C-alpha cells in the first residue's frame, strides 16, 4: 500500500540532513529515521506518529506492539499517537473513530533542523477540518513533542480535546510505580466513570487501569526497577494526565495488541480532555508540550 504524500526520495532531496533520512517504513508508510550520537528515533508522516526514541546510553523508551498495523486509515499501536480533536469515543457520533482524526491523517514535513546538542528537530503540519495544526518534535537526550493548534480564525470559540497518548516500554508493569499524581483526583474508566479522590500514593498497576487525572500540570515519574530506570514526563499547556494499561482481558480483545504484551507497557498521556477540553477563543492559539527524559536508577 503506497504511503500518501511525496516519496522518500523527494523528501530527502528537500529535507535530508546528517542524522535524518526519509524512507519507506513498515507497511510502506513514509517515515523519518533519526540516527545521531545523542539519540535515535522514528516518526511516521502517517499521523505524525513518533514510533521510536532511543536516547544515547539507554534502551528504547517507547513501546510498539508487534501486532501494530501500519496502514493508511488505521492507527499505529504504540509510540505516541496524537488524539485530536476528541479523546476516546466521539461525544455524539458512535461511528466516528476513537481518539479523533489526527492519528490517521497525513502530515506534511514543514522543516527539519540539527539541534545544538547534536539531536534533530522535525516540524510537521496538517489541516484537519477547521483546524490547522503544527507538531514540533525534538529527538535528543530528551524527547520533546509540542502540538500547536494554530490561531482560531473563526469568529466563534471552538472546543476540542487533545492528547499525546505515549506508550512506554517497561520491564514488568506489575513492578512499576508512577509518582506525581498522588494529590490528584481522577475519572475511573474501569469503574463506571466514577470520579475518585486523590489516593495519596504512587500509582501501581494491579489490574486493568484507565484513569483520567483532571486538573493536573504535575510532572510524572515512571519508576521501573526491572529495567533499572526512571522515565520523567514533564508537560506544559496540559491539564489532564491519563494512565492506561489494558491488563489481560482487554489485551486479548485488541487485534493489534499481543495477548501477552500488556506486561511490557504502560501509557502516561499528556492531554487536555474531559473537564479540561480546550475552548479556543477567536484569535487564540493552543499549545501542549510533553518532555520525556530517562535516568538510571
Strands 240-245, 265-272: pairing kind? antiparallel
Is the CA virtual torsion 280, 85, 142, 239 positive or negative?
Answer: positive
Chosen residue from 67, 189, 276, 289 binding ligand TA6 by CB under 6 A: 189
Please tell me whether residue 171 binds ligand TA6 under the rule CB under 6 A. no
| Binding-site string for ligand TA6 from residue 4 to residue 43, where x marks contact by CB under 6 A and - marks none | ----------------------------------------
For residues 260 and 247, what is the distance between their CA atoms, to the nearest angstrom? 9
Chosen residue from 17, 56, 98, 236 binding ligand TA6 by CB under 6 A: 98
- Interface with ligand TA6 (CB under 6 A), residue total 11
Chosen residue from 46, 99, 221, 234 binding ligand TA6 by CB under 6 A: 99
Of 223, 161, 164, the C-alpha closest to 43 is 164
Please tell me whether residue 158 binds ligand TA6 under the rule CB under 6 A. no
Of 57, 59, 30, 56, the C-alpha closest to 42 is 30
The least distance separating ligand TA6 from the CB of residue 189, rounded to whole angstroms, comes to: 6
For residues 30 and 23, what is the distance between their CA atoms, to the nearest angstrom? 6
Measured CA distances, 159 to 86, 149, 269, 271, 273 (Å):
9, 11, 20, 14, 10
Residues facing 40 on adjacent strands: 35, 54
Q: Taking CB under 6 A as the criterion, which residues in 230-249 touch ligand TA6?
A: 242, 244
Please tell me whether residue 161 binds ligand TA6 under the rule CB under 6 A. no
> Could you tell me which residues come within 8 angstroms of residue 120 by beta carbon, excluding any fewer than 6 positions away?
17, 19, 20, 34, 36, 39, 41, 112, 113, 114, 138, 139, 140
Please tell me whether residue 269 binds ligand TA6 under the rule CB under 6 A. yes
Nearer to ligand TA6, 267 or 290 (CB): 267
Please tell me whether residue 258 binds ligand TA6 under the rule CB under 6 A. no
Nearer to ligand TA6, 156 or 192 (CB): 192
Nearer to ligand TA6, 23 or 275 (CB): 275
Q: Output Rg (C-alpha) for the chain, integer angstroms.
A: 18
Q: List residues binding ligand TA6 (CB under 6 A).
A: 75, 88, 98-99, 165, 189, 210, 242, 244, 267, 269
Amino acid at each position: 500500500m503506497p504511503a500518501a504524500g511525496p516519496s522518500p526520495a523527494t523528501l530527502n532531496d528537500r529535507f535530508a540532513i546528517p542524522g535524518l533520512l526519509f524512507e519507506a517504513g513498515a507497511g510502506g508508510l513514509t517515515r523519518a529515521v533519526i540516527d545521531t550520537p545523542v539519540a535515535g528515533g522514528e516518526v511516521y508522516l502517517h499521523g505524525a506518529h513518533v514510533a521510536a526514541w532511543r536516547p544515547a546510553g539507554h534502551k528504547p523508551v517507547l513501546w510498539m506492539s508487534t501486532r501494530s498495523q501500519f496502514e493508511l486509515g488505521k492507527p499505529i499501536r504504540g509510540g505516541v499517537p496524537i488524539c485530536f480533536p476528541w479523546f476516546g469515543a466521539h461525544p455524539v457520533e458512535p461511528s466516528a473513530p476513537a481518539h479523533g482524526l489526527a492519528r490517521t491523517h497525513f502530515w506534511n514535513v514543514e522543516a527539519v533542523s540539527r539541534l545544538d546538542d547534536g539531536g534533530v528537530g522535525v516540524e510537521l503540519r496538517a489541516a484537519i477540518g477547521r483546524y490547522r495544526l503544527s507538531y514540533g518534535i525534538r529527538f535528543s537526550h530528551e524527547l520533546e513533542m509540542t502540538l500547536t493548534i494554530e490561531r482560531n480564525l473563526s469568529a466563534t470559540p471552538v472546543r476540542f480535546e487533545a492528547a499525546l497518548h505515549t506508550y512506554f516500554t517497561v520491564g514488568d508493569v506489575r513492578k512499576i510505580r508512577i509518582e506525581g499524581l498522588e494529590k490528584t483526583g481522577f475519572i475511573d474508566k474501569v469503574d463506571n466513570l466514577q470520579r475518585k479522590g486523590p489516593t495519596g500514593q504512587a500509582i501501581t498497576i494491579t489490574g486493568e487501569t484507565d484513569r483520567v487525572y483532571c486538573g493536573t500540570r504535575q510532572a510524572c515519574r515512571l519508576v521501573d526497577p526491572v529495567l533499572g530506570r526512571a522515565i520523567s514526563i514533564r508537560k506544559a499547556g496540559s491539564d489532564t494526565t491519563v494512565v492506561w494499561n489494558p491488563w489481560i482481558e482487554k489485551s486479548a480483545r485488541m487485534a493489534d495488541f499481543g495477548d501477552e504484551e500488556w506486561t511490557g507497557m504502560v501509557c502516561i498521556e499528556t492531554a487536555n480532555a474531559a473537564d479540561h477540553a480546550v475552548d479556543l477563543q477567536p484569535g487564540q492559539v493552543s499549545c501542549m508540550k510533553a518532555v520525556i527524559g530517562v535516568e538510571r536508577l
